[in-house]
Amino acid sequence: MVPTYTKIYIGILISVLCVEVIWIKTSSSLFIYNKKDIYYEFLFLACLLLPYVFYKSFRPDLRMVALLETTFFAFAYSPLMLLLTCLVATQNQPLIDSTLVSIDNYLGVYVQAIDFWFRGHDIWQRIFEFMYNTFLYQFPFVLFYFTYSNKPIYLQRFLMMIMIATPLTITISGFFPALGPFEWYHYMPHIRVSNALHHMIELRQNIVDINKEPGIVTFPSFHTVMALLYTYIFKNEKLIIFIPVLIINLLMIFSCIPIGEHYFIDLPAAIPVFLVTIGIERILYKKVIEINNKRCNDYLLKLSS
């Protein structure tokens, strides 16, 4: 028998869905959404679920089962987290930009100067835009690398970490919201960040338009949390794999300032989220192993009786 997080995944999905449904039902916010998008999302998830059920039932290839399961739950969880980001932002907590600016100045880091330097050097701007976007590119690499390496438990553990870290980061950002250094220093952000900022302002006015880009999770930096998780999951791999992953993610973390428009303190603030995530996941992993070992022992006892 192979240890699995499947029941935990399902439990988290159902719990988050129930919380969000209750939140929406009791909220006075204006919700704007497209029913067709919801329909297409369910259709897409059904297309992912069918091959997963097929492989698990008729062709129990552990690698393919883990790959399809991780992909399905990742895509099922993502829209719930995007919605949670919107709901949390509607709480309209006091902005903490002034505090973040004070901390950055105390540390001697002036993000405005860093941002302006990159805007004046187009080649470096493009390079770090690519590094910033590896946030998305690395996920399929993780999926296929550990599938090919025949380490399905790594896929499950990685997804579990994401499912822990994401709502934790969103919740913190809800209690400590910030608009970003471009708003504080009054300079024009990148168009992507500008659109997200406008959406964030709408959310703080209790207008929830889920068709738009979600509000900015400024404190802590979720890109930094993911960079730490990407590096962590490869810590036991060969150096020829681990070192490039480490370098890419260090560059991605730095890119959060000129490209992601973060305050500097947003980056180290991700470390506690990462450590709590790792701690919770390790506890769950030990529990999953204990349950799996008990099932194996019970099965062997049945065979011997």
Which of left, alpha, beta for 125 (phi over 0: left; psi -120 to 50: alpha)? alpha
Q: Which residue type sits at 127?
A: I
Q: DSSP strand E in the chain: where?
A: 30-32, 207-209
Which residues lie below 8 Å from residue 182, measured CB to CB, with a gap of 6+? Answer: 115, 188, 189, 193, 197, 261
Q: Write the single-letter amino acid at 265.
A: I
For residue 153, give every residue at least 6 positions away whose Cβ sits within 8 Å of its Cβ, in sequence order, or none: 2, 3, 66
pTM above 0.85, yes or no: yes
Per residue in 95-111, pLDDT (tens digit) is 999 999 999 999 999 99
Distances 239 to 133, 148, 222 between C-alpha atoms, Å: 24, 18, 26
For residue 228, list its beta bridge partners: none
- Residue 9 — left, alpha, or beta (φ > 0 → left; ψ -120 to 50 → alpha)? alpha
In tens digits, the chain (305 residues) has pLDDT values of: 556 788 899 999 999 999 999 999 898 888 888 888 888 888 988 888 888 888 877 777 778 888 888 999 999 999 999 889 889 988 888 999 999 999 999 999 999 899 889 988 899 999 999 999 999 999 999 999 999 898 888 999 999 999 999 999 999 998 999 888 887 777 777 776 777 777 788 888 888 887 776 556 678 999 999 999 999 999 999 999 999 999 999 999 999 998 888 999 999 999 999 999 999 999 999 988 887 777 666 555 666 66
Q: Are 181 and 112 in contact (CB under 8 A)?
A: yes
Could you check whether the bond before residue 220 is cis, i.e. omega within 30 degrees of 0? yes
Give the integer Cα–Cα distance in Å for 175 and 88: 8
Distance CA 99, CA 79 (A): 31
User: In the block, which residue shows the tokens 């997200």?
Assistant: 196
3-class DSSP state of 261: coil
- Residues forming beta bridges with residue 127, ordered by sequence position: none
